[in-house]
C-alpha cells in the first residue's frame, strides 16, 4: 500500500499481482476489503539489523561478551521495529547500537541501555 490509507476518504492505492486476472485489465478500479489480524511476533530495532552481501544480519551476544553474526529472515516493519521470522531464539540478546561496525566473534562491552 502506498503511502497509506487516507483517513478522510478511507481509500488507499494498492498494487497487486493476480495469477489469473480474468476480465480485469490494467487501470481498472476495484473495491474490496482487507482482512487484517493480530499475531505475536519477534521484533528487533531496525538499527540492530545490518545488511551484508544483500542479506540481513544481527549480532547476538555469546559467551565471554563475544558476538556472533546471525543471518535472519525479516518480515513486516512497524515504525522503528522489524519483524524477525527466523534466525533468532527466545532469550537471544541482540546488539542494538553500533552493529554496523562489528564483525563475527568481536569482543563487546555490555552497557545498560536504559540511560541512553
Contact assessment for residue 50 and residue 84, using Cβ atoms and an 8 Å cutoff: no
Q: What is the pLDDT of residue 109?
A: 92
Q: Does residue 97 carry a pLDDT above 70?
A: yes
Would you state the pLDDT for residue 9?
Answer: 83
Domain total of the chain: 1
CATH code where residue 84 lies: 2.40.420.20
What is the span of the domain harbouring residue 72? 2-115
pLDDT in tens, 38-91: 888 999 999 999 999 999 999 999 999 999 999 999 998 888 999 999 999 999
Q: Examine the pLDDT at 107 and tell me if it is beyond 90.
A: yes
State residue 2's pLDDT score: 52
Amino acid at each position: 500500500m502506498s503511502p497509506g490509507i487516507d483517513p478522510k476518504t478511507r481509500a488507499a492505492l494498492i498494487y497487486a499481482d493476480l495469477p489469473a486476472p480474468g476480465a480485469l485489465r490494467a487501470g481498472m478500479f476495484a473495491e474490496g476489503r482487507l482482512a487484517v489480524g493480530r499475531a505475536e511476533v519477534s521484533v528487533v530495532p531496525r538499527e540492530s539489523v545490518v545488511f551484508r552481501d544483500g542479506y540481513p544480519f544481527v549480532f547476538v551476544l555469546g559467551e565471554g561478551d563475544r558476538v556472533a553474526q546471525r543471518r535472519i529472515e525479516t518480515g513486516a516493519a512497524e515504525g522503528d521495529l522489524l519483524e524477525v521470522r527466523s534466525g533468532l531464539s527466545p532469550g537471544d540478546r541482540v546488539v542494538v547500537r553500533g552493529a554496523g561496525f562489528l564483525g563475527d566473534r568481536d569482543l563487546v562491552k555490555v552497557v545498560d541501555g536504559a540511560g541512553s
